Amino acid sequence: MTRTGSALIAAVVLIAVPCLHGQTTPAAISQPTPAAISNDLGKLRSLSDQERPAATIKAAHEIAALPPGIEKVQLADRASQRVTEGDQGHAALQAVADALSMALSQTAIRTRGAEVPEPYMDLARLVRYEGVSVSLDDPLFRKALDTLAADEAAVSKADFTLTDIHNTKWTLSDLRGKIVLVNFWATWCPPCRSEMPILDAIYTHYRNEGLIILSITDESPLTVVPFLAGKEYHPPVLIDSNDAVHKQFHILGIPKTFVFDREGRLVGEAIDQSTQQQFLSLLARANLKPE
């Protein structure tokens, strides 16, 4: 996931150290430094789809073996934002969730005001949308889960009207009867760019069956139009110039995808870069039948 903003961790308090969920703590023999782990996390996007899951699991175990502290939380949270890019499998997702859950159980993060710190939100996203389980007993984690549920309820009632780069207006509620996939993206976002050929192929294949894909960006047409020039990308590209729709959908990181069925009900959500199979699985919830 590529962040559109950053979360501030105000202060930390060290507390007791539990074991990694479902595993023993990895041995600290030849434990890589935080800098080395950070460097490895930075290389994940350059790895092949076959190499990435094992590298992610390795990084998660190395993070789990670090001593408690804010640096451990930050590395685990960064790993949580990489493991959801593409389909790395349940083992990688669970390993990262375990590492982040451990880090948060060891280092309590104090908040300012009512906002839930981003590491708790990222862990809650893994649990709610990626099918992992953790044993973290923390009021901030529970609040993060409640926040996601509330955000989802708000999105299910959302409506908007935006203009695309060809000056055509699109209103979400006018698309009842269609299956609508709403994808938030930007030209500067590598995972977003990786999704574009997949979304284009799905759109061109299924649009005659009533599929609409709305690609929403908050960038200027002066940026978007030259970027798309010469590219085979057919879904409508809508401009959210004042971020009003981004805020309505609670977008803090991109890419982010929502699927609405023909009755306008929210039936699926992807929190990061998706593969073709992951997109088709989301659309199947709206009763689009892959061929």
Give residue limits of the domains in the chain.
2-148, 161-284
pLDDT score recorded for residue 289: 78
Beta strand pairing call for 179-184 and 256-260: antiparallel
In 105-128, which positions are buried (b, 16+ CB within 10 angstroms) versus exposed (e)? bbbebeeeeeebbbbbbbbbbbbb
Give the global pTM.
Answer: 0.85
Sign of the four-CA dihedral 256, 53, 63, 44: negative
Chunked mean pLDDT (size 10), the chain, 291 residues: 54 37 49 96 95 98 97 98 96 98 93 88 97 96 97 96 98 98 97 97 96 98 96 96 97 96 97 96 91 63
CB under 8 Å to 139, separation ≥6 — which residues?
A: none
> Whole-angstrom Cα distance, residue 207 to residue 154?
27
Burial of 163 (C-beta count, 10 Å sphere; 0-12/13-18/19+): middle
pLDDT score recorded for residue 269: 96
pLDDT score recorded for residue 9: 38
Burial of 30 (C-beta count, 10 Å sphere; 0-12/13-18/19+): exposed
pLDDT score recorded for residue 111: 79
- Rounded (10°) CA dihedral 125, 119, 56, 126: -10
pLDDT score recorded for residue 29: 55
Helix (H, G, I), strand (E, B) or coil at 282: helix
User: Which architecture characterizes domain 161-284 according to CATH?
Assistant: 3-Layer(aba) Sandwich (3.40)
